[in-house]
């Protein structure tokens, strides 16, 4: 593989905690597909890992609860004809998934107050428009 799989900052996925499984892919490749195991399934045990800081691990477990089976996160890749490229794609996908799941929550939005002058101007213009329309409804207007 091409080096460590960086999640964010200096936190990486250790190769020893990744479990690879290969099977026949249904994707492109013609007769080659029938003979080679190019589909890749990458599994990462999120519950028992020590690679992530406890806060990140807790966040990831909470956010990825629906995607995990028995505390194990699984990612598949079969879009390429070669097993090597599918391995790369699966590793990148897993790292991106964990990076998104461990990201800190966004800051809460504080609603801004509308300045009084803007509201007054809006009401004044609304009144002028109503007066203009009211002036058009008389008998002399036709």
| pLDDT for 123 | 96
Q: Which residues contact 123 (CB under 8 A, 6 or more apart)?
A: none
> Is the whole-model pTM more than 0.75?
no
| pLDDT for 27 | 57
Q: Tell me the angle at which helices 54-63 and 83-102 cross, rounded to the nearest 10 degrees.
A: 100
| pLDDT for 126 | 97
Residues of the chain whose pLDDT is less than 70?
Answer: 1-4, 25-36, 141-142
| pLDDT for 51 | 82
| pLDDT for 127 | 96
Q: Residue 82: how many CB atoms within 10 A of its CB?
A: 12
| pLDDT for 132 | 92
The full length of the chain comes to 142
> Tokens 């002399």 — which residue?
140
Q: Provide the Cα torsion 23, 28, 33, 36; round to 10°.
A: -50
């Amino acid at each position: 593989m091409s080096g460590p799989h960086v999640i964010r900052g200096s936190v990486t996925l250790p190769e020893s905690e990744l479990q690879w499984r290969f099977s026949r892919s249904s994707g492109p490749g013609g007769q080659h597909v029938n003979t080679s195991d190019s589909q890749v399934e990458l599994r990462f045990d999120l519950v028992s890992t020590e690679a992530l800081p406890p806060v990140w691990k807790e966040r990831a477990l909470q956010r990825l609860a629906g995607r995990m089976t028995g505390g194990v996160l699984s990612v598949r890749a079969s879009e390429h004809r070669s097993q090597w490229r599918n391995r790369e794609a699966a590793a990148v996908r897993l790292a991106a998934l964990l990076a998104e799941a461990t990201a800190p929550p966004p800051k809460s939005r504080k609603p801004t107050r509308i300045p009084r002058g803007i509201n007054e101007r809006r009401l004044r213009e609304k009144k002028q428009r109503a007066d203009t329309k009211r002036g058009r409804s008389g008998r002399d207007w036709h």
